[in-house]
Amino acid sequence: MIKSDVLDKGFIEVIDSLGNDLTVVNSARVSFGKRKTKFDKSDERLVRYLAKHKHYSPFRHLQVQFHIKAPEFVMRQWYKHVVGIETTSNSSTKDHAWNEISGRYVEYDEFYEPTIYRKQSDDNKQASEGEFKGDDIKDVESNWKQAHSMSLTAYKNLIDSGMAKEQARCILPLTLYTEVYWTGSFQAVMNFIELRNEKTAQIEIQEYARVLLNQMKEVFPKTTELWSEAHGWV
Protein backbone atom coordinates (compact mmCIF):
# COMPACT_ATOMS: atom_id res chain seq x y z
CA MET A 1 0.00 0.00 0.00
CA ILE A 2 0.93 3.68 -0.04
CA LYS A 3 2.86 5.07 2.93
CA SER A 4 4.39 8.53 3.28
CA ASP A 5 6.42 10.10 6.07
CA VAL A 6 5.21 13.36 7.62
CA LEU A 7 7.05 15.66 10.05
CA ASP A 8 9.87 14.00 12.02
CA LYS A 9 8.23 10.75 13.14
CA GLY A 10 4.73 10.79 11.64
CA PHE A 11 3.25 9.07 8.61
CA ILE A 12 0.09 8.44 6.63
CA GLU A 13 -0.50 4.97 5.22
CA VAL A 14 -3.36 3.95 2.92
CA ILE A 15 -4.65 0.71 4.41
CA ASP A 16 -7.63 0.03 2.16
CA SER A 17 -9.91 1.65 -0.39
CA LEU A 18 -13.30 1.02 -1.95
CA GLY A 19 -14.20 1.99 -5.49
CA ASN A 20 -12.34 3.53 -8.42
CA ASP A 21 -12.68 6.44 -10.83
CA LEU A 22 -15.75 4.81 -12.43
CA THR A 23 -17.56 4.60 -9.09
CA VAL A 24 -18.54 8.27 -9.09
CA VAL A 25 -19.94 8.31 -12.62
CA ASN A 26 -21.81 5.03 -12.20
CA SER A 27 -23.28 6.23 -8.91
CA ALA A 28 -24.48 9.38 -10.65
CA ARG A 29 -25.79 7.60 -13.76
CA VAL A 30 -27.83 5.06 -11.81
CA SER A 31 -30.57 7.69 -11.97
CA PHE A 32 -30.83 6.84 -15.68
CA GLY A 33 -30.35 3.10 -15.24
CA LYS A 34 -26.91 3.19 -16.89
CA ARG A 35 -23.50 1.77 -16.02
CA LYS A 36 -20.12 2.33 -17.66
CA THR A 37 -17.17 -0.09 -17.82
CA LYS A 38 -14.57 2.33 -19.21
CA PHE A 39 -13.77 5.89 -18.14
CA ASP A 40 -13.88 8.31 -21.09
CA LYS A 41 -14.11 12.03 -21.88
CA SER A 42 -17.84 12.18 -21.16
CA ASP A 43 -17.11 10.83 -17.70
CA GLU A 44 -14.50 13.54 -17.15
CA ARG A 45 -17.10 16.18 -17.98
CA LEU A 46 -19.59 14.58 -15.61
CA VAL A 47 -17.18 14.35 -12.67
CA ARG A 48 -16.04 17.93 -13.23
CA TYR A 49 -19.67 19.09 -13.34
CA LEU A 50 -20.61 17.19 -10.18
CA ALA A 51 -17.66 18.62 -8.26
CA LYS A 52 -18.08 22.18 -9.54
CA HIS A 53 -21.79 22.31 -8.72
CA LYS A 54 -21.41 20.54 -5.37
CA HIS A 55 -23.37 17.40 -6.21
CA TYR A 56 -21.32 15.46 -3.68
CA SER A 57 -23.35 12.32 -2.95
CA PRO A 58 -21.74 10.24 -5.78
CA PHE A 59 -18.29 11.01 -4.31
CA ARG A 60 -19.27 9.46 -1.00
CA HIS A 61 -19.28 5.99 -2.57
CA LEU A 62 -15.49 6.16 -2.73
CA GLN A 63 -13.99 5.20 0.64
CA VAL A 64 -10.43 5.21 1.96
CA GLN A 65 -8.98 3.88 5.21
CA PHE A 66 -5.82 5.52 6.53
CA HIS A 67 -3.39 4.70 9.32
CA ILE A 68 -2.13 8.04 10.65
CA LYS A 69 0.64 8.83 13.09
CA ALA A 70 0.59 12.46 14.19
CA PRO A 71 1.09 14.69 17.23
CA GLU A 72 -1.92 15.14 19.50
CA PHE A 73 -2.23 18.83 18.63
CA VAL A 74 -2.60 17.87 14.97
CA MET A 75 -5.21 15.22 15.71
CA ARG A 76 -7.22 17.63 17.87
CA GLN A 77 -7.72 19.72 14.75
CA TRP A 78 -8.32 16.66 12.58
CA TYR A 79 -11.12 15.36 14.80
CA LYS A 80 -13.21 18.41 13.95
CA HIS A 81 -13.68 17.21 10.37
CA VAL A 82 -16.90 15.23 10.11
CA VAL A 83 -18.18 16.19 6.64
CA GLY A 84 -18.65 13.00 4.65
CA ILE A 85 -17.58 10.67 7.49
CA GLU A 86 -20.49 10.76 9.88
CA THR A 87 -23.91 9.13 9.80
CA THR A 88 -26.77 10.24 11.98
CA SER A 89 -28.78 7.39 13.48
CA ASN A 90 -32.26 7.53 14.98
CA SER A 91 -30.69 8.31 18.34
CA SER A 92 -28.76 11.42 19.27
CA THR A 93 -25.39 9.71 18.71
CA LYS A 94 -23.20 10.12 15.66
CA ASP A 95 -20.82 7.46 14.40
CA HIS A 96 -17.36 8.64 13.44
CA ALA A 97 -14.87 6.45 11.58
CA TRP A 98 -12.08 6.83 14.13
CA ASN A 99 -10.09 4.37 16.21
CA GLU A 100 -7.07 5.53 18.22
CA ILE A 101 -4.21 3.87 20.06
CA SER A 102 -5.01 3.88 23.78
CA GLY A 103 -2.78 5.08 26.59
CA ARG A 104 -4.71 2.74 28.87
CA TYR A 105 -2.95 -0.21 27.24
CA VAL A 106 0.34 1.09 25.85
CA GLU A 107 3.02 3.44 27.11
CA TYR A 108 3.89 6.57 25.16
CA ASP A 109 7.45 7.73 24.46
CA GLU A 110 7.57 9.77 21.23
CA PHE A 111 7.24 13.54 20.86
CA TYR A 112 7.26 15.91 17.91
CA GLU A 113 10.57 17.77 17.52
CA PRO A 114 10.32 20.57 14.95
CA THR A 115 13.16 21.51 12.64
CA ILE A 116 12.08 25.17 12.77
CA TYR A 117 10.88 27.08 15.83
CA ARG A 118 8.43 29.76 14.72
CA LYS A 119 7.69 33.17 16.21
CA GLN A 120 4.25 34.51 17.08
CA SER A 121 2.68 36.73 14.44
CA ASP A 122 2.35 40.38 15.47
CA ASP A 123 -1.02 40.90 13.79
CA ASN A 124 -2.64 37.44 13.94
CA LYS A 125 -3.27 35.83 17.33
CA GLN A 126 -3.58 32.34 15.88
CA ALA A 127 -0.68 32.37 13.44
CA SER A 128 3.10 32.23 13.35
CA GLU A 129 5.45 34.48 11.42
CA GLY A 130 9.17 34.08 10.94
CA GLU A 131 11.47 31.85 12.94
CA PHE A 132 14.06 31.92 15.70
CA LYS A 133 17.64 32.10 14.46
CA GLY A 134 21.15 32.32 15.80
CA ASP A 135 21.61 32.49 19.56
CA ASP A 136 17.85 32.96 20.12
CA ILE A 137 17.11 29.43 19.00
CA LYS A 138 19.28 27.84 21.68
CA ASP A 139 17.05 28.77 24.62
CA VAL A 140 13.87 27.95 22.71
CA GLU A 141 15.10 24.52 21.65
CA SER A 142 16.47 23.80 25.13
CA ASN A 143 13.16 24.64 26.80
CA TRP A 144 11.24 22.53 24.27
CA LYS A 145 13.43 19.47 24.75
CA GLN A 146 13.58 19.94 28.52
CA ALA A 147 9.78 19.95 28.71
CA HIS A 148 9.68 16.65 26.84
CA SER A 149 12.37 15.07 28.98
CA MET A 150 10.79 16.15 32.26
CA SER A 151 7.27 15.06 31.32
CA LEU A 152 8.43 11.69 29.97
CA THR A 153 10.53 11.02 33.08
CA ALA A 154 7.65 11.95 35.37
CA TYR A 155 5.25 9.80 33.31
CA LYS A 156 7.48 6.73 33.55
CA ASN A 157 8.13 7.34 37.26
CA LEU A 158 4.39 7.46 37.93
CA ILE A 159 3.85 4.19 36.07
CA ASP A 160 6.77 2.57 37.91
CA SER A 161 5.19 3.66 41.19
CA GLY A 162 2.06 1.75 40.27
CA MET A 163 -0.15 4.55 38.97
CA ALA A 164 -2.67 3.52 36.31
CA LYS A 165 -1.53 4.32 32.77
CA GLU A 166 -4.88 5.96 32.06
CA GLN A 167 -4.12 8.56 34.74
CA ALA A 168 -0.35 8.90 34.32
CA ARG A 169 -0.79 9.87 30.66
CA CYS A 170 -2.59 13.05 31.68
CA ILE A 171 0.70 14.87 32.31
CA LEU A 172 2.03 14.36 28.76
CA PRO A 173 2.14 17.36 26.37
CA LEU A 174 0.25 17.87 23.11
CA THR A 175 3.42 17.14 21.13
CA LEU A 176 2.92 13.47 22.02
CA TYR A 177 2.57 11.22 18.96
CA THR A 178 -0.60 9.19 18.66
CA GLU A 179 -1.86 6.75 16.02
CA VAL A 180 -5.35 6.45 14.54
CA TYR A 181 -7.27 4.62 11.86
CA TRP A 182 -9.45 7.03 9.89
CA THR A 183 -11.97 5.91 7.29
CA GLY A 184 -13.78 8.47 5.19
CA SER A 185 -15.38 9.09 1.85
CA PHE A 186 -13.67 10.87 -1.01
CA GLN A 187 -15.67 13.97 -0.12
CA ALA A 188 -14.51 13.77 3.50
CA VAL A 189 -10.84 13.57 2.59
CA MET A 190 -11.04 16.34 0.00
CA ASN A 191 -12.94 18.57 2.42
CA PHE A 192 -10.15 18.08 4.96
CA ILE A 193 -7.52 18.88 2.33
CA GLU A 194 -9.33 22.03 1.20
CA LEU A 195 -9.53 23.42 4.73
CA ARG A 196 -6.12 22.33 6.01
CA ASN A 197 -3.94 22.75 2.93
CA GLU A 198 -4.52 26.47 3.23
CA LYS A 199 -2.10 29.17 4.32
CA THR A 200 -4.06 30.12 7.44
CA ALA A 201 -3.98 26.54 8.78
CA GLN A 202 -1.25 25.51 11.20
CA ILE A 203 1.88 24.54 9.28
CA GLU A 204 2.11 21.02 10.71
CA ILE A 205 -1.39 20.04 9.66
CA GLN A 206 -0.79 21.61 6.25
CA GLU A 207 1.94 19.02 5.76
CA TYR A 208 -0.48 16.19 6.47
CA ALA A 209 -3.02 17.69 4.07
CA ARG A 210 -0.46 17.86 1.25
CA VAL A 211 0.54 14.25 1.79
CA LEU A 212 -3.12 13.19 1.74
CA LEU A 213 -3.66 14.99 -1.56
CA ASN A 214 -0.71 13.20 -3.16
CA GLN A 215 -1.99 9.86 -1.90
CA MET A 216 -5.48 10.51 -3.23
CA LYS A 217 -3.92 11.20 -6.63
CA GLU A 218 -2.53 7.67 -6.52
CA VAL A 219 -5.68 5.95 -5.25
CA PHE A 220 -8.25 7.82 -7.40
CA PRO A 221 -6.17 9.63 -10.05
CA LYS A 222 -8.81 11.00 -12.42
CA THR A 223 -11.39 11.82 -9.77
CA THR A 224 -8.81 13.69 -7.68
CA GLU A 225 -7.52 15.56 -10.73
CA LEU A 226 -10.99 16.63 -11.83
CA TRP A 227 -12.09 17.58 -8.30
CA SER A 228 -8.95 19.69 -7.94
CA GLU A 229 -9.62 21.44 -11.25
CA ALA A 230 -13.25 22.12 -10.34
CA HIS A 231 -12.23 23.66 -7.01
CA GLY A 232 -9.43 25.75 -8.48
CA TRP A 233 -6.58 23.90 -6.78
CA VAL A 234 -4.58 23.62 -10.00
Instruction: Report long-range pairs for 96-100 (Cβ below 8 Å, ≥24 apart).
Output: 97/182, 97/183, 97/184, 98/180, 98/181, 98/182, 99/180, 99/181, 100/75, 100/178, 100/179, 100/180, 100/181
Q: Taking phi first (over 0 means left), then psi (-120 to 50 degrees means alpha), and beta for anything else, what does residue 7 get?
A: left
Contact 33, 152 (CB under 8 A): no
Give the length of the chain: 234
- Annotated active-site residue 196? The verdict is yes
Catalytic residue among 29, 35, 104, 196: 196
**Residues acting as catalytic residues:** 196
